[in-house]
Amino acid sequence: MNVNGNKRSSTNVAVLDTSVLMEILGNTQLGETVKNVVLKDPAMERFYISPIAVTELLYLVARTAGFQMALQQVEGFTKVFTICDEKRLRIEAARIKSALALSLADCYALAIGSLRGILVYFKRESEFDAILKKGPIPFPIDLRFVDDL
């Protein structure tokens, strides 16, 4: 369900935020749902992630597994995703960040969706709930929450 009120994307690609990637990497129940409903969707051809998402994955996994193990796990895990060139995202992420009280990493994921006109999947967070209570996000972004799958 598109929670932002924008026109549904008609594309077969999507963006996955760090929170979604951590659910998948952590083999949680929600991660399994994402795998089965989103990643295994035969209509989907490609999934994008931001370079900041890779950095976040590295430090989050490193906290429990150590940095070398995190590097191996994250490099192997992210091979199936397309990591967007950060250079293209800077201005759009800054534009989104200036308007919304979200983390910079969240803004990078939204920037990919905005620039490419594709779905963006997030795990529901209180920051999004607060923003969406005020109305739709003021950017043409097809925002989805994996919690609603």
CATH 2.60.120.1440 fits 13-148, yes or no: no
- Helical pair 18-25 and 67-78, crossing angle rounded to 10 deg: 100
Residue 86: its pLDDT value, please?
87
Residue 3: its pLDDT value, please?
52
Element (H, E) at 51: helix 51-65
Domain boundaries, the chain: 13-148
Distance CA 59, CA 75 (A): 13
State the residue for tokens 């097809």.
142
In order along its 149 residues, the chain shows pLDDT tens digits of 455 554 555 579 999 999 999 999 999 999 999 999 999 999 999 999 999 999 999 999 999 999 999 999 999 999 999 999 988 899 999 999 999 999 999 999 999 999 999 999 999 999 988 999 998 888 888 999 999 99
Which value, to the nearest 10 degrees, does the dihedral of the CA atoms of residues 140, 48, 18, 6 take? 20
The reported pTM is: 0.89
First to last CA, the chain: 8
Residue 138: its pLDDT value, please?
85
Closest residue by Cα to residue 13 from 118, 132, 140: 118
Beta bridge partner(s), residue 46: 13
